[in-house]
Amino acid sequence: MKGKFKYVFFDADDTLWENEQFFRDAEESFIRLLSPYTGPEGVQQMLWDRQEENIPLFGYGSKTYMIGMSDAAMELCGGHLPAEIYHGIKKIITDLTYHEFRLLDGVEETLEALYGHYTLVVATKGDVTEQMCKFRQSGLGKYFHHVEVMENKCEQNYLELAAKHDIAPQQLLMVGNSVKSDIAPVINVGGTAINTPHNVVWVHEMMDMPESDRITVVKSIKDIVNFLL
């Protein structure tokens, strides 16, 4: 890979900083809140189902998560949302939105090593305000040329990303944890991807790894330096 690429695009959530674990904690709190109405598995499945319905309409992020929780709770409560359930959901989402921010291990030293050798760009998806807030909290702005908050991460979105930066799709190099969002679509348009697995994966993002010699899997983000410098 050395000398082949001008840009390196980085996913944000669970690649640069911790994210999914906080959503899992919120999910567990929601299950406890609604458990009196049905079993834990029923609550979880209802939440997943409502989330999948709402993502195409409202996108990604904690606001959509709140809508999904409210929809699931309304159905589980028989069409009437008790005040204590509403306030419980609001507290869960507030805690999720204002959780402690944590960079993942090795991120800053990796970016510092690559800075100056490549143009580094964050390529994330989700709510623009929410993602930009997290980026500012990260303190990583000194390493990145800019931030792309993409509508989604399908093949068309990556083709648009390449066109915006005046590069061919074959010149895309994406670093990320999600096979579904960061790896497969990039490979499908002819790009190259480095997978930095995270120990917690959102059910919506689960997918088998495609077979390609343009995919590199590393144990830690620190290891990408060995391939790029």
Whether 36 and 77 share a structural domain: yes
Separation between Cα atoms, residue 148 and residue 124, nearest integer Å: 6
Compute the average pLDDT of residues 188-213.
86
Q: How many domains does the chain have?
A: 2
Compute the average pLDDT of residues 203-225.
89
Whether 108 and 161 share a structural domain: yes
Domain presence at residue 159:
yes
In this predicted structure, the answer to whether residue 209 has a pLDDT above a threshold of 70 is: yes
Whether 174 and 73 share a structural domain: no
Quote the mean pLDDT of the chain: 92
- Report whether 174 contacts 191 (CB < 8 A): yes
Q: How confident is the model at residue 98 (pLDDT cuts 50, 70, 90)?
A: confident
pLDDT for 33-85, tens place per residue? 999 898 898 999 999 999 888 888 887 777 888 899 999 999 999 988 899 99
Q: Decide which of 97, 114, 149 is a domain's last residue.
A: 97
Angle 221-164-57 from CA coordinates, rounded to 5°: 80
In this predicted structure, the answer to whether residue 6 has a pLDDT above a threshold of 70 is: yes
Whether 144 and 82 share a structural domain: no
Whether 139 and 224 share a structural domain: yes
Q: What's 170's domain CATH number?
A: 3.40.50.1000
Compute the average pLDDT of residues 7-35.
93
Q: In what order do the strands lie in the sheet with 119-125?
A: 146-150, 119-125, 7-10, 173-176, 192-195, 215-217
Whether 136 and 45 share a structural domain: no
Q: What's 83's domain CATH number?
A: 1.10.150.240
Q: How confident is the model at residue 17 (pLDDT cuts 50, 70, 90)?
A: very high
Whether 87 and 122 share a structural domain: no
pLDDT for 146-179, tens place per residue? 999 998 899 999 999 999 999 999 999 999 999 9
Separation between Cα atoms, residue 59 and residue 62, nearest integer Å: 10
Domain presence at residue 1:
no
pLDDT for residue 181: 94
Residue 91 domain boundaries: 20-97
In this predicted structure, the answer to whether residue 97 has a pLDDT above a threshold of 90 is: no
Whether 127 and 222 share a structural domain: yes
Domain presence at residue 90:
yes
Domain presence at residue 54:
yes
**pTM over cut 0.85:** yes
